[in-house]
Structure 1
Amino acid sequence: WAQARDEAEEARRELQEAVQPLREPGYWEALRRKTERARKRKQRLQRRKQEARAAREEEAARAAEREAKIDQWRAKCIQEVEEKTREQELKAAADNVLSKVRKKQADTKRMVDILLGLEKLRKLRKEAAGRKGVCPPPSADEEFETQVESLKTLLKSRTELYEAEERALKVMLEGKQEEERKREIEKKQKKEREKLLQQKLEIDSKLFGDPDEFPLAHVLQPFRDYYLQAEHSVATLIHIRHEWDRYLVPADHPEGSCIPPGWVLPTLPTNDIWATAVR
């Protein structure tokens, strides 16, 4: 019994020592603050993990978008190169055919010249033979004239055929050149439109902020919706136009001025405080 009582006393003292801090003033408040700090630290860690995950997802989305744009640009470049190569090959083939046609025309003209020279040569030899008292039979003249006329007819038909081929090839080449000029004009006009659109986006960004930086829940979104409401409502557009038309006056009117043709851009900040507000 004495041994059991000693063990019980020892256990009671240990329990009193363990419970003693709970009875001290401020213990529960310190424990609450410690628990609150642990909870906030856990929340911060969770928030950082979520932000890191969102940043990774956003970066992956941007990378995928960049890759898609690069693939689209690469495919467009390949298509343009292939189209230009086909056009060059077609033009080279047409030029080659045209060169052959012109060579045939030159050969035909040379044959015509040879035939004319042959006629002149026979005439001269006939005159020389006549002065010597030698006259060829009429059948020889008829046969020569028949052969010459046959050759002239053949050369004339070939000349007309080659001229028709040349005209067709010229029309095809002119059509290709016209298409190339139209494409160049369209490409130039597209670049001008893109340039004007980029300028408009830059002006809108200066006036209303970058739309990519302002999600729908942003505090400035109601103001943006207010100033852009005419783009989504015909009635609002008519009302705003009516309000503007009330102030249309000549340029030399003493009590007013004309509406500016474009946006009135804000001036640059004159001090650091204003500059921080603009940013």
Structure 2
Amino acid sequence: PPPPPPPPPPAASPSSARELAVQALGRVARLAALCRALRQREAEGDEAGWAQAQGEAEAVRQELQEVVRPLREPGYREALRRKTERARKRRLRLKTGRGRKRRLRRQRRKQEAKAAKEEGAARAAEREAKIDQWRAKCIQEVEEKNRERELKAAADSVLSEVRKKQADTKRMVDVLRALEKLRALRKEAAARKGLCPPPSADDAFESQVESLKTLLKNRTELYEAEERALRVMLEGEQEEERKREMEKKQRKERERLLQQKLEIDSKLFGNPDEFPLAHLLQPFREYYLQAEHSVAALIQIRHEWDQFLVPADHPEGSCIPPGWVLPSLPTNDTWATAVR
């Protein structure tokens, strides 16, 4: 029978070319081994072995020619080159795309790390600012207290000095009075003995005493004025201290009332931080709190309430509550689970 027709040449592709190259290399290796066997048989003078090896080599050569025949087809190598170039570009694009994705991931991670670092730095700066503000406030309060203490101590010291001067002035006045009494007694004793001082001595004594009395009176008035000024200053400081204490108490009371109001609102409307659907309840909050922002709404609500007012002696009547009516505690475990 005639030999079968040769198979059609495979389409030019890198995979088929790779397969043909592998087959051709296998035949070449087999042919090289047979050539070495031929030389060995020729050296040994083995004609039968040489002829057998020569037949095998011829068959392998024909197979090699059949294998490499598609590579000799016109246009095969050009088509293979184009497809190889396209495959290389495709691999390059894939590699570049993967590299770009990796770069984008790295950049995104860097940006996230940078953002987290900046956010941490901002939180740390805010925390440091709050600490510095609290520290400055504490330092200011301590300085104010020290200044008030020093001012009060200085005022007390000056006041004690003024009182000491007043005591000295009073003692000098008492000394002058005692001196006048002593001179009068000595003058009477001298008169009983028949001795009378000249009138000029009496005038000089009276003049000196009056001068000293005037001086002591002026000093006394000056010290009294200083004492009144110091007392007014101390009373003003005490009044300021009382005002500050009152403001501090009022501020604490306002904070307590605000915290109480927040707790009541949390019980009635839910905690917006813990309740994720707070934005859904915003229309209801606006509806129930519209009287706080609109006078017309307040009048309308009061008008609707006034329609249901009854006399004070009505058995089912009661006054309007001044604040929120807080819900009572659950009466049993079933209601408690529903409230949760």
Q: Which TM-score applies when normalising by structure 2? A: 0.60
How far apart, CA to CA, are the structure 2 residues paired with 1:199 and 1:186?
20
8 Å Cα contact 1:214/1:221 also seen in 2: no
Conserved? CA contact 1:101–1:165, under 8 Å? yes
1:246 correspondence with 2:301:
no
Larger CA deviation: 246-255 vs 140-149:
246-255
Quote the offset at 1:110 in angstroms: 0.9
- For residue 74 of structure 1, what is the aligned residue in structure 2? 135
1:13-162 paired onto structure 2 within 5 Å: 67-162=128-223
> Could you tell me which of 200, 209, 216 is aligned with 2:261?
200
In 1, the alpha carbon distance for the partners of 2:65 and 2:301 equals: 97
Cα offset, 1:171, TM superposition: 1.1
Could you tell which deviates more after superposition, 264-273 or 125-134? 264-273
Structure 2, unaligned runs of 5 or more: 1-61, 69-112
Partner AA of 1:191 in structure 2: K
Q: Is the 1:214–1:220 Cα contact (8 Å) retained in structure 2?
A: no
In the alignment, structure 1 residue 190 sits paired with structure 2 residue 251: yes
Measure the CA separation in 1 of the matches of 2:65 and 2:285.
Answer: 83
Q: What is aligned with 1:168?
A: 229
Q: Closer, same or farther in 2 for the Cα pair 1:97/1:73, shift >3 Å? A: same
Q: Secondary structure at the match of 1:212?
A: coil
Q: State the Cα distance separating 1:268 from its structure 2 match.
A: 2.1
Q: Tell me how far 1:72 sits from its aligned partner.
A: 3.5
- Rounded Cα–Cα distance in structure 2 between residues aligned with 1:227 and 1:58: 38
Size of the alignment, in residue pairs? 237
Q: Tell me which residue corresponds to 2:241.
A: 180
1:262 matches 2:323: yes
Contact 2:190 2:196 in 1 (8 A): yes
Question: Between Structure 1 and Structure 2, whose CA radius of gyration is higher?
Answer: 2
Question: Matches of 1:241 and 1:64 in 2, distance apart?
Answer: 50
Displacement of 1:190 after TM fit? 1.8
The TM-score normalised by the length of structure 1 is 0.72
Deviates more, 1:58-67 or 1:146-155: 58-67
Deviations 1:91-141 (A, max 9, x none): 111111111111111111111111111111111111112222222111111
Residue 2 of structure 1 is matched in structure 2 by 63
| 1:143 to partner: Cα distance | 0.9
Distance apart, 1:209 and its partner CA: 1.1
Identity %: 84
The answer to which of 193-202 and 228-237 deviates more is 228-237
Over 3 Å counting, the alpha-carbon distance change for 1:205 and 1:256 in structure 2 is same
**Structure 1: gaps of 5 or more residues:** 8-51
Amino acid aligned to 2:185: L
Task: Kindly indicate whether the alpha-carbon contact (under 8 Å) linking 2:272 and 2:278 is maintained by their aligned counterparts in 1.
Answer: no
Note closer, same or farther for the CA distance 1:165–1:146 as it changes in structure 2 (3 Å cut): same
Distance in 2 between the 1:96 and 1:165 partners? Answer: 13
Q: Whole-Å Cα distance in 2 between the matches of residues 269 and 57 of structure 1? A: 48
1:229 and 2:297 are equivalent in the alignment: no
Conserved in 2, the CA contact under 8 Å of 1:248 and 1:259? Answer: no
CA–CA distance in structure 1, aligned partners of residues 287 and 272 of structure 2: 14
Deviation at 1:157, TM superposition (A): 0.9
Listed one character per residue, the Cα deviations across residues 139-187 of structure 1 (whole Å, up to 9, x for unaligned) are 1111111111111111111111111111111111111111211222222
